[in-house]
Structures are given as structure tokens and as C-alpha cells.
Amino acid sequence: MDILRKLYDMTAFSNLLENPAPLLMLFVGVVLLYLGIKKQYEPLLLVPIGFGVILANLPGAGMGIVPGEFIELGDHKYMNLFEIAHEYGIMNFLYYSLIKTGLLPPIIFMGVGALTDFGPMLRNLKLSLFGAAAQLGIFSVLLVAIAAGFSPKEAGSLAIIGGADGPTAIYTTIILAPHLLGPIAIAAYSYMALVPVIIPFMVKLTCSSKELKINMKEQDKLYPSKNVIKNIKAVKIAFPIVLGIVIAFFVPSSVPLLGMLLFGNLVKEIGANTLRLSDAASGPIMNAATIFLGLTVGATMTSDVFLDFKTIGIIVGGFFAFAISVIGGIFLVKGYNMFSKKKINPLIGATGLSAVPMASRVANEIALKYDTKNHVLQYCMASNISGVIGSAVAAGVLISFLG
Amino acid sequence: MDILRKLYDMTAFSNLLENPAPLLMLFVGVVLLYLGIKKQYEPLLLVPIGFGVILANLPGAGMGIVPGEFIELGDHKYMNLFEIAHEYGIMNFLYYSLIKTGLLPPIIFMGVGALTDFGPMLRNLKLSLFGAAAQLGIFSVLLVAIAAGFSPKEAGSLAIIGGADGPTAIYTTIILAPHLLGPIAIAAYSYMALVPVIIPFMVKLTCSSKELKINMKEQDKLYPSKNVIKNIKAVKIAFPIVLGIVIAFFVPSSVPLLGMLLFGNLVKEIGANTLRLSDAASGPIMNAATIFLGLTVGATMTSDVFLDFKTIGIIVGGFFAFAISVIGGIFLVKGYNMFSKKKINPLIGATGLSAVPMASRVANEIALKYDTKNHVLQYCMASNISGVIGSAVAAGVLISFLG
Amino acid sequence: MDILRKLYDMTAFSNLLENPAPLLMLFVGVVLLYLGIKKQYEPLLLVPIGFGVILANLPGAGMGIVPGEFIELGDHKYMNLFEIAHEYGIMNFLYYSLIKTGLLPPIIFMGVGALTDFGPMLRNLKLSLFGAAAQLGIFSVLLVAIAAGFSPKEAGSLAIIGGADGPTAIYTTIILAPHLLGPIAIAAYSYMALVPVIIPFMVKLTCSSKELKINMKEQDKLYPSKNVIKNIKAVKIAFPIVLGIVIAFFVPSSVPLLGMLLFGNLVKEIGANTLRLSDAASGPIMNAATIFLGLTVGATMTSDVFLDFKTIGIIVGGFFAFAISVIGGIFLVKGYNMFSKKKINPLIGATGLSAVPMASRVANEIALKYDTKNHVLQYCMASNISGVIGSAVAAGVLISFLG
Amino acid sequence: MSENFELALQLLGIGMGTVFIILFLVILIGNTIIKFVNRFIPEAQKVIRQNVTSVLGITSPEKMAAIVSAVQIVTGGKGKVTSINKE
Amino acid sequence: MSENFELALQLLGIGMGTVFIILFLVILIGNTIIKFVNRFIPEAQKVIRQNVTSVLGITSPEKMAAIVSAVQIVTGGKGKVTSINKE
Amino acid sequence: MSENFELALQLLGIGMGTVFIILFLVILIGNTIIKFVNRFIPEAQKVIRQNVTSVLGITSPEKMAAIVSAVQIVTGGKGKVTSINKE
Ligand code: NA
Ligand code: NA
Ligand code: NA
């Protein structure tokens, strides 16, 4: 009898009887895995996040992230990392050393930079503007979220989902509202994964067939731009350096993200001489960062954190942030076309959202549906990449004012 | 004169005159290197461990791991990692951040998972049971070790050597008896390396030639199993998810190990969509973890820790734990064969020990020696892999009751 | 009006008006990038260092390294790493966990070891001596620096530039004078990059055409050495083990650097059985370490640190340390040639400096200029590699006496 | 000591029991998943993967093989293609 | 709440304003760099690379060229050999 | 200062002395190992390596190429050989 009692105590069933909520969270974890594996929604992130949710909600396993207050000692003192590991286990050790310090999102941005080619943007610089308009979802949902009762910091974290950029959303949320990290990260990555659904939907809602047939190459022939780039390699090397310095003067709080992005891009563009660095940044470093980011962000989603009305607010608000961002880009194009002889395809506005490169691919497919010869991919990439800069800048603004 | 005096003080000779014990440990380190390099006993671990032993015992170099009490401040407070580095150098920094936190063994298990194929086990599920029987060495040696005067925690760490799984042994020892980490890790890896000697020896001791000639494929033809797997990929993806959740309910303390193993396996089985993650988990992450695990575990073996009667106990006890585990597996097969028409080759019991995949290869060679057409590799892999699960579960039980 | 005010406050322009010195540092950063990218001076280090300088000097971005006193709490207590991240951002987190702990230089040395081939040295063991003579720059500049008013610790850090070895210089400076880390690292890597200028200049200054035509292969034929290596693989495996132990007895403080170098070399020489380890050590681990070392070392160069008379002292002193080291090697050869029938090409003394393998290549080109058939590369590599050992030993001496 | 010994005896029972229960569950779970999959998703689906090779513009496997074999031949079997990145 | 709402309204202005300013700057910087480069360094320079091949024991440039050209031909110039590791 | 200068002078002696001693030892150790190896293990032994390719039974580059192409064909171009390490 005694042995059976001890055996029972070893298991997690008593915990489950006390509080069955984790079972619901296990279901949420399995759904995320399903979306990542079967539906192929951003599998590189949703699979680790989903598994992290499961790990965190296995009762008695001690893999869930504890709230920040647990490690505060008051008077600006905190438990040290060794004590965190000792007290709360390896997941909290990873979370508090890699995520809560704000380290991994900039590290991932370094890898993203090493995989980014600013070429399409440099060849169509004007189109960058639409990457600005497509941040509209961020600031308008911020307004609505505050009206709906979110605190400004929470609202800022929610709104940044409209930037359609995972690391940016996570970085902003770590600083502003770490208790919402799980749902916001998941909403961000899920909607990014849903770009092939959201963009066509918003485009159909707002654009005429005639607009979608605007052929950018023909427009280029009709109204050729003056700039020819004679030495693209030199331009690509100088661009991240100068850009990084100038943006930093205006929005210094965006430097941890943008600075690392541009550093990654620089070592890539230098080429053979720094190949070891760009290979490492975009390979093992980024991949390892992705694993630990996903698992620990997922592990923040314990049942008491996730099963909250705010989660619904985040899911709904996140969608509108996304949708409004797409519309923002489209309507700036429409406005531009009213005053310019050289017309722009509104799809290029829609991709200002970022979600590189999927948004551009989706936009290209839409264009081809209306005109099988109308390849807009390279043009979309211009606004698409500038949308990444746009949301990092927006994040910097939010952090400056709300952080 | 003064200069020569100062020169002499700089060297380590005065330390050696005071305490020549480290010289013996240098010899131990060289022996471990010899085993790893020349005898090719688990070189991936024994070479870093051996080198770590040497580094730790170079007098004056400050590369040896200091006992846990040195960093305790009392009242559940510990020195922080920066202070540890400052005070005790980089080896202690690595040890206390990566090993004593319990981080690296689960990280290595993630890599092991990404290299493991549950296919053979899924095709012969029943054989998994022998991976349970082969944990007998753990719990019987636990009994003996306690009788011999080891404390329960020390006995648990010693006994887990019978799990024939390096990361599991290290993880358990970190939690239960970190002061024995060096000798236990070395015993575990050495006996795993000696599997090609131990298994044939135990098999010869317990099995008849007739038993060893049992041909599994013929048995399969005579008594075919009903299950056919129509979609192995789907099964392989679902298996780690469901298994992880269910085991966690029963033995939550095994989650850090098994959860990471199954996560690594999941991203591997998903395939191309998460290839970046499985590549990172089984490549740079696991390799880097192996280097730092080996060096720091070796560095725990300072002369005062190693030159102790307990070390002998560990070496002797570890061997019996191994041997009894092999016997446990074999005898469950013998028992099974007494009641079943469909016979099982006892080699499949012997490989329940784990030590994947070497045990299976060794068993296969033995089978071929008795019958050149009797390939048992795939069947052995079934119990072999289940033996990994078995020892992680056993570790969880030990940690729950003794930790 | 209010909005514009707030917008202005968000930017860094007010900071720049207060203190425009960072602009000068941005210029320094751009110059370093120019040297690394266009002039190809050690791009793997100078590009991250240059970018780190820029990041650190973007006002308001919080990416500059704060002085060590900022994290001291008195009474041998320090802020913990989590608090450092929280208070001073990710750059300081990386710096204080990876650099100030002394971790990355030994880690990079492990990678260097895994890329080093002791073969040429083993085949010409006698030439190793010139790697000793070429440490003369270190100890003579130490004398001058102290005379010039540097504190002994600062002088030691400055002098180690004459070792022509980046990680050694950084490691020594971390321990002796961390506030000079930026300028010393940059001076070290810049002069290493300038080896193709410095060596020919010093050689021309001190060697006659006749000396430079000394053909080592002919000398070998005239005066053959007795040793033939029958089993190079075994020698290469035993060498790092024995060497590590023996050097450690004499200069234990050099173990963190030399021990890791020799470990990296050992796993490389073992070959296939530890391929995973040497691949990891010389690949992802070293590359990641290089990125974070470069960025954070660069980030120590805030304007108040760099714009100091000591920086000029470091630049001037570093050059002389380099130059005298080259001369030291050359003059030992000249001395040797006075007493020996078998003559040695003084270029082999010049490469004792280290800066592997560039110094050897440069020396080889000089030799070929004087005699198109006089290939001295393999001989130069012997003194070149021993120069690495020499400077690590010199660093150990400095650390023992000044640390 | 005798108390510890009792604990060890108990653990022998609990431990082996747990291990057997878990591995019974492994069998049960495995069989259940196999049956479930056999009934509901018996056929492997075509997964639209993000094709690494297509990104490289390597359209045929023969081409890929050609690269690898070229490397092998030229390096005397000592080289390996760790990765081929698109520029 | 109403105070927060005002803050949000301000941020809508400041935020969108900043984003537009920055992306105007992106255009400006991009065009300036292009013009500068077109005028002062219009031609790409030959980069003297640190040669990896000698380390590999690939002694002849012909062999190396064979590998590279194989990769180039097969990938239509889009692939590059990032590393060939000798064992 | 003069005290420091004296320290520096001492270090010049101690430092250069130590460096020379160590590099003499390097020569000594190197020669000793070479002699020892020449006498006791003069021939390189065949190491029974855990050969990845031999496990796969790949003996020639052609076979290697064949495997890669087979993988490609079988996976419809969706699989890639990330690395096959040959010893
Ligand atoms: Na965006
Ligand atoms: Na086992
Ligand atoms: Na040197």
C-alpha cells in the first residue's frame, strides 16, 4: 500500500486533479504542432513553440516559465542565473539568460540580415515608402487596444503584431509586456503563416482588377528611372553601414534590432573574406537561437497566463493589426497613383507589411493570376524588405515612449 | 638569486612538492586518452574527459572544478556566474553554467533524438519490454551500494551506470551526487565502450547455442504479427508527441531528458520543413555540448575527489550494474520463451541495456557467428532504443525519490 | 509642438549636442571597416570590431561597454549577468559573460589548435628557438612603456602586442588592464594585418642579399639532420599531450590558452574518431566566438576610453613591440650563423613573431624574390608556429608577475 | 542504514514496476497510433516542402550528383561538400 | 484611460511620422550612395582572397577550378562552393 | 617608478629566459617523442575507424554520386544530402 502511495505521489495525477487546466494547454500545444507540421505554418517556429507549450504544461515537470516577479528580490536586485537554474530548472535558465535579457531576437536578426539581399530594394528605392505606410496597423491597433482597456505597454506589444515580423514582436514584448510573450509570439507567427490567406483577402476587398494588372516593367519602360547602379557590390557594402548610423540618430532604441540586422547583412555582402562570419550568423547561430527561442517562448504559455481574456484580445487585435497594415500599404499606392503618371501596382503596397519573402511570393501569384506575364516579385521585394526596417523603427518608437 | 626565486615561484614545482597527488591524476588522464585514442573507447567523450582530467590537475593552472560548497553563500544564495569566473576561472564558469545547472545532458539528448530512428522499435513494439527488464542492474546495484555504505543519493548515481546511457548518468549524478560526477561519467562511458566485451561475455555465461540460433525472421513468418504500418511517417511524427505527454504524467521528473530527446526526434521526423533545427540539434549544438561536457566533467576529477575509496566502489558497482542489466534482459526473454510459441532470440534481451547502436551491432555479430544467415540487427535495435527510454524513466524514479 | 518636442527627445540629437565626441568614434569605426573590407586587413576581426565601435558610439543606443567599476558592488561582489543585461543591455551582457570572464580567447585558441598543423615544426624542431627570440619585442617594450609612465599592468598589456597574436593579446589585457582592451585589440590585429609591410621593411633594414639567399633545402642536404619521423600520426597525437603537461609545470598561468590550443590540436590529429569535435571547434564554435569577440571588443571603444593619450602610446608602443620582435628573431639567426656551419636564412627568424600563416607566406615571397628557387615556407612555418607558443608563454609570465 | 536499505528495496519494486508500466505504455501508444494512422491517414501526403535544391537553381538530381562526384574525384575522396549555398 | 488614449493618438502621429521619415531617409541614403559609388568607384575591384584551397591540400589550381566550374555550370552560376573540407 | 622599472628589467630577464627554456623543452620533447615513436610504434596502425561511408558501403565517388542522385530522385528533389563525411 505504502509503495503504491509513493508511486502515485511520484506521478503527476494528483497535480492534474487539483488543476486540470494544463490539459487544455496540452491541447493548445498539440494544435500548434498540427499547424506547424501539417499546415506548415512557419514550422521553424511553431513546432518549437508548440513543443514548448507542451513541456511547460506537463504537471510536475518544472518546465514552465515562472513570472518575472519570482526572480525579483526588490531594490533592483534579481536572482542570479545559477540560482534560477537551481530553483526553477533549465527552461527558466534558458529563458532568463537568452530571452528576458533581450539577446536572442537581435541574434536572430543578425542571421536574417545575413540572408537578406537589399538588391531589389536598392534597384527600386522609391517603393520603400510603402514599407512605411504598412506600419499603419501597428499604430491604429495601439489606439484601439488602449481604448479596449489594455495598458499602454500591453497595447504596444499587441500592436507590434501588425509589423508582421517575429523577432521584432518578441523583442518589443520582452521589454514592454513580457507576461504576454507567449500569445503575442504565437499570434505574430500564426498570422505571418496566414499571409497567403490574409493578403489575397485584403487585396480582393480593396483593389480592382485593372489596378492589379498594372505591369511594373512596362511602367519602367514608359517612365524610366535615371539611376543605374554601376557597382552593386560597393553599394551593398556601404548601404548597411550608412543606414545603420543614420537611423540610429533618429531612433536609437531600434539599434539592437536594426544594428544586428545590418551587421549580418554587411558580413554577407563583403563576401569571401568574412564568409566564416556570415555562415555562422545565418547557420548554426540562427538555428540554435531559433530552437531555444521557440521552446522557451512556448514555455511561457502556462495555463494561468494563456487562459485569460487578454489572449482573445491579442488574437483579435493581432488580426486587425495585420489587416490594417496591408490596407495601409495598398491605400498609399492608390493615393500615389492619383497624382503620378507612372502607375504602381497596389500589390506592392500590400507587401509593405513585411513577412519576407512569403508576402512577395503571394503577391506575385496574385498578379500572375490577373496577367500571366506580370511578374511583380522583384518590385514587391523592395517594399517587403523596407517593411522590416519600418517595423523595427516602429518598435523603437514604441519602446522609447512606453518602455 | 632573487630572479631565480621568482622564476621558481611562477612554476608549479612548489605545488607539486607540497602535494604530488596530481601527478597520479595526470597519469589517469593519460590512460583515459589512451583508451579513447588507441583503444577507441567512446573517443568523442573519453578524449575530452581525459584532457579535462589533465587540465584540472595541472598544479597552479586553476582549471580544476571546485566543490559546490565553494560557491554556496548560505541561505539558498550562490555566487553568480560572473563571480565564479572571476574567482575560479573559465572551467568553473563553464561547469557551473552548463553542467551544474543540468543544461547540457538534455541538450545532448535533443541531439541524440535527432539522430534516433524509432522505426525499428515501432515495427517490433513488443520487443520494447526487454528494454524494461534491462534496467534491473540499476535497482539491484542500488540495493547493494546502499548496503555497502554509500548514501542513498550516491548509491542512486552509482546505480544509474547500469542504464548504459551517458547523458542520463550525468544528469542524474548532477542532481543527486555532483561530487561523484567524474568517476561516474568515466565509468559509464568506459563500460559503454566495453559493450563489445561485456555483452558477449554475459551471453556466453547465460545462453545456449540453440537459443542464440533462434531466427527472428523465421519466427515472424511462422507467427506473423497483425500490425502493418501504412504510413510510417505519420506514425513517427505522432509517436514522440503522444509518448512524451503520457510518460510525463507518470514520471514527470524524466521530462527534461525524455522531453528533449523526443523534441529532437520530432524535428528530425518532420523532415525538410524543420531541417535547420534538426541539423543544428544533432550537429553544432550537440558537438559543442559534447566538448564542454567532456572537458568540464573531466575537470571535476581533481586528485582529492578521485583518489577515494568510493571511486573503487563506483568502478566495481558500475560493472555489476552493467552486467546485471544485460542478464535482466536475457532472462526476461528466457521467461517469455517458456510461455510463448513464438520464440525470441535472447540477444534481443541483452541489447535492452541500451548503449545504442553498439550493443545491437555486437549482438548481431554474435548471432551471425552461430548462424551466418541470422541477421537480428533490426530486432535488437527495438529493445536497444527502448532501453534508452527505460533508463531515462529509471533516472526519473531515482530523482523523484532521492533528489 | 508637444509632439515635435517628444519626437526630438526620442532622437539622439540632444545627446550629440551635449557631447559630439562619439561622432569622431563613428569615424574611427568606419576607418576600421574600411581597413577590414577594402584593405582586407584581418577582415574576420576588424569588420566586427569596427562595427562594434560604431554600435557602441551611437548615442542613446546603449550598446557601449560600461567600465568594470559600474558592475562592482564592493567587497568582492559583482552584479549578476541578468542584472547587467537588465541595466546595460545585450552588449554588456555578452561582454561581461563571454569576454570579461576570459572565456572567448581560450575558445578561439581551441579552434586555432584544430586548424594548426605542428608537422612543419616537428620536422624542423631546432627552428623553434627563433620563436623564442621573437618575443623580445614584448619584454623590451614593457620596459619602455613603464619608463613612459604606463602602470606595470597597462605596460604588460601594451607589450603583449609584440606577441603578434590576437587572442593572446586580448586574454592578457582582460586580466591585466581591461580598460585598454579596445585599442590594444585593434593595434594587435592591425599590425598583424600589416605583417606584409612590417616584415619586408625590417628585413630590408637588417639583412644582406646574401643572407636572404641562403637555401634551407641545400643546407639540409649538406648537413642532414639525423631524425626521420617514421610515424608522424603517432608523434602528432603524443606531442600536444606531453607538451601541454610539461609547459604547464613551468608556466601554469599559460594553461587556459595553451591547454585549449593543444586540446583543439589533439582532436584534430586523432582524426575521424573525434571529427565531430574538431569540426565544431574550428567551425561554428570559433566562428561564433569571433563574431561576439569582435563586436564586444569593438564596443569597449567608447569615446572617453579611446580618446586618451594612452591610445597613442599603445599605437606607437605596439609598433615597436612588433618591430623589435622581428629583429629579435633575425638577430638570433645571425648569431647562430656565426657559430654554425649549417646556415639558416634570417627570414626564419623574422617569422618567429607568429602571425601564422601570413608571416611565413610573406617571408617565402621575399625569399623567392632573391632566388626564384628558394622555397622557405615550410621552414618559416616551424618558427612561426613556435612563435605562438612563445607568446602564450610570455603572456603567462606577464600574468603571473603582474596579474 | 537499515532504513536506507528498506528504501532501496522499495525502489527496486517501484523502479522496475514503473519502467515496465512505461514500456507497456510505449507498446500501447505505439499500437494505438499505428491503428489510428492506418485508419485515418493511411497514405503519406505529398508535402509541399520549401525545396532547398530549387532555391539553388539546381533543377535536376543529376546535376547535384555531378557536383558531388566532381568534388569527390578531384579531392581524391578526401573532400566533402558540406554545403552549397546560393549566391 | 483618456490620458492613455491621448498618448496613443500622439503615438499614431509620432510613429507613422517617424516611420515615413526613416524610409524617406532610406531612399535618400540609397540614392546618395549609388551616386557616390557611380562617380568614385564605378567598377568592382578584383578581390585578393585568402586562398582556402592550399589548406585543403588541393595542390593544383586546375583541380580547384574543375570543382568550381562544375558547380557553376550545374547551378547556372547560382551556386557557390562555400567550403570543401579535407579530412 | 624606479621600482617599476626594476620590475620591468627583471621581467625582461625572467620572460626571455622562460620563453627560451620552454622552447628548448619543445625541441627536447619533440625529439624524445619522435625517438620513442620511431622505436616503439614505428608504423602507423590501421585504425578501425567508425567509417560513415563504409557503414554505408560507399567505396567510390561514383557510388557516392549515385546515392545523392538516388536520394534526389526518390524524394522528388525534395531531399538533400547535407553532408556525407568520408574519412
Ligand atoms: Na513590417
Ligand atoms: Na538503458
Ligand atoms: Na608570437
Concatenated DSSP letters of B265-303:
HHHHHH-GGGHHHHHHIIIIIHHHHHHHHHHHHHHT--H
Pair E62, E76 in one domain: yes
Q: CB of F1 within 8 Å of any CB in chain B?
A: no
Report d(CA D70, CA D80) in Å as an integer: 10
User: In chain C, how many H helices and how many E strands?
Assistant: 24, 2
Cβ contacts of residue C74 below 8 Å, gap of 6+? Answer: none
- CB contacts < 8 A, E to F, total 3
Mean pLDDT, rounded, for C196-206: 94
Report d(CA E40, CA E64) in Å as an integer: 34
Q: Of the ranges C113-127, C350-364, D40-54, which one carries the lowest mean pLDDT score?
A: D40-54
User: Which of C345, C354, C350, C344 minimizes the C-alpha distance to C385?
Assistant: C354
Q: Look at D63 and E78 and tell me if their CB atoms are within 8 Å.
A: no
Q: Look at B291 and C280 and tell me if their CB atoms are within 8 Å.
A: yes
The whole-angstrom distance between residue B338's C-alpha and the CA centroid of its chain comes to 32
Residue A360 near residue A199 (C-beta atoms within 8 A): no
Ligand 3 centre to CA of C279 (Å) is 25
Report d(CA C103, CA C244) in Å as an integer: 19
Pair E66, E56 in one domain: yes
Chain A positions in Cβ-Cβ contact with residue D14 (cut-off 8 Å): 3, 6-7, 10
Q: What is the pLDDT of residues A112-163, one digit of tens each?
A: 999 999 999 999 999 999 999 999 999 999 999 999 989 999 999 999 999 9
Q: What is the pLDDT of residues C17-71, one digit of tens each?
A: 888 899 999 999 999 999 999 988 889 999 999 999 999 999 999 999 999 999 9
Report d(CA B336, CA B317) in Å as an integer: 28
Q: CB of D87 within 8 Å of any CB in chain A?
A: no
Would you say residue D73 has pLDDT above 90? no
On the question of a cis peptide bond just before residue A357, with omega within 30 degrees of 0, the verdict is: yes
Ligand nearest to the CA of B137: 2
Q: What are phi and psi of B217, to 5 degrees?
A: -65, -40
Mean pLDDT of chain D: 67
58-87 in E: which are within 8 Å (CB) of F?
87
Pair F10, F34 in one domain: yes
Identity of the residue numbered A187: A
- b/e per residue, C264-285, with b = 16+ CB within 10 A? bbbbbbbbbbbbbbbbbbbbbb
Min Cα separation C277/chain B (Å): 6
Report d(CA C176, CA A173) in Å as an integer: 40
Closest partner residue to A255 among C55, C87, C283, by Cβ? C55
Q: What are phi and psi of C73, to 5 degrees?
A: -110, 5
Number of domains making up chain D: 2
Chain C positions in Cβ-Cβ contact with residue A255 (cut-off 8 Å): 55, 58, 61-63
Residue B284 near residue B266 (C-beta atoms within 8 A): no
Pair D52, D80 in one domain: yes
Cell readout for B250 is 507518470
Pair D35, D68 in one domain: no
Pair E60, E85 in one domain: yes
User: Which of B369, B382, B399 minimizes the C-alpha distance to B168?
Assistant: B399
User: Which of C97, C156, C127, C148 minimizes the C-alpha distance to C296?
Assistant: C97
Chain E positions in Cβ-Cβ contact with residue F64 (cut-off 8 Å): none
Ligand 1 centre to CA of A29 (Å) is 27
Pair E37, E67 in one domain: no
Nearest C-alpha in E relative to F85: E87
Residue B142 near residue D8 (C-beta atoms within 8 A): yes
Closest partner residue to F77 among D53, D69, D80, by Cβ? D53
Q: Which of E26, E44, E62 is the last residue of a domain?
A: E44
B partners (3+ CB pairs within 8 A) are A, C, D, F
22-81 in D: which are within 8 Å (CB) of A?
47-48
Reported ipTM:
0.89
Report d(CA B360, CA C295) in Å as an integer: 48
Q: What is the band of A1 on the pLDDT scale with cuts at 50, 70, 90?
A: low
Question: Residue B181: its pLDDT value, please?
Answer: 93
Pair F52, F28 in one domain: no
Closest partner residue to F77 among D61, D69, D81, by Cβ? D61
Residues from C contacting E (CB-CB < 8 Å) are 2-3, 6-7, 10, 40, 271-272, 275, 279
Cα torsion through E60, E61, E62, E65, rounded to 10? 140
Q: Look at D75 and E66 and tell me if their CB atoms are within 8 Å.
A: no
Pair D29, D18 in one domain: yes
Report d(CA C98, CA C78) in Å as an integer: 15
Q: What is the band of E48 on the pLDDT scale with cuts at 50, 70, 90?
A: very low
Q: What is the band of F44 on the pLDDT scale with cuts at 50, 70, 90?
A: low
Closest partner residue to A54 among B77, B78, B244, by Cβ? B244
Q: Look at B243 and D20 and tell me if their CB atoms are within 8 Å.
A: no
Residue B174 near residue B181 (C-beta atoms within 8 A): yes
Mean pLDDT of chain A: 93
Q: What is the band of E56 on the pLDDT scale with cuts at 50, 70, 90?
A: very low
Q: Look at B275 and D52 and tell me if their CB atoms are within 8 Å.
A: yes
Pair E66, E37 in one domain: no
Ligand 3 centre to CA of A240 (Å) is 36
Chain B positions in Cβ-Cβ contact with residue D22 (cut-off 8 Å): 132, 247, 250-251, 389-390, 393
D partners (3+ CB pairs within 8 A) are A, B, E, F
Q: What are phi and psi of B20, to 5 degrees?
A: -80, 0
Ligand 3 centre to CA of B178 (Å) is 40
Question: Residue E55: its pLDDT value, please?
Answer: 32
User: In chain E, how many H helices and how many E strands?
Assistant: 3, 1
Report d(CA C25, CA C307) in Å as an integer: 8
Q: CB of D15 within 8 Å of any CB in chain B?
A: yes
Q: Look at D66 and F71 and tell me if their CB atoms are within 8 Å.
A: no
Q: Which domain holds residue F73?
A: 46-87
Coil vs helix vs strand at C79:
coil
Nearest C-alpha in E relative to F86: E87
Q: Which of F29, F44, F59 is the last residue of a domain?
A: F44
Chain E positions in Cβ-Cβ contact with residue C279 (cut-off 8 Å): 85
pLDDT per residue, tens digit, chain B (403 aa), is 577 787 788 888 888 888 889 999 999 999 999 999 998 888 999 999 999 999 999 999 999 999 999 999 988 899 999 999 999 999 999 999 999 999 999 999 999 999 999 999 999 999 999 999 999 999 999 999 999 989 999 999 999 999 999 999 999 999 999 999 989 998 999 899 889 999 999 999 999 999 999 999 999 888 887 678 999 999 999 999 999 999 999 999 999 999 999 999 999 999 999 999 999 999 999 999 999 999 999 999 998 888 888 899 999 999 999 999 999 999 999 999 999 999 999 999 999 998 898 999 999 999 999 999 999 999 999 999 999 999 999 999 999 999 8
Q: What are phi and psi of A228, to 5 degrees?
A: -120, 135
User: Which of B356, B347, B358 minimizes the C-alpha distance to B387?
Assistant: B356
Ligand nearest to the CA of C164: 3
Q: Look at A245 and C26 and tell me if their CB atoms are within 8 Å.
A: yes
Pair E37, E50 in one domain: no
Report CA-CA distances (Å) from C243 to C65, C227, C229: 37, 19, 18
List the Cα angle E45/E47/E49 in 5-degree steps: 175
Min Cα separation E58/chain D (Å): 7
On the question of a cis peptide bond just before residue C105, with omega within 30 degrees of 0, the verdict is: no
User: Which of A264, A265, A269, A98 minimizes the C-alpha distance to C291?
Assistant: A264
Q: Look at A59 and B397 and tell me if their CB atoms are within 8 Å.
A: no
Pair D5, D35 in one domain: yes
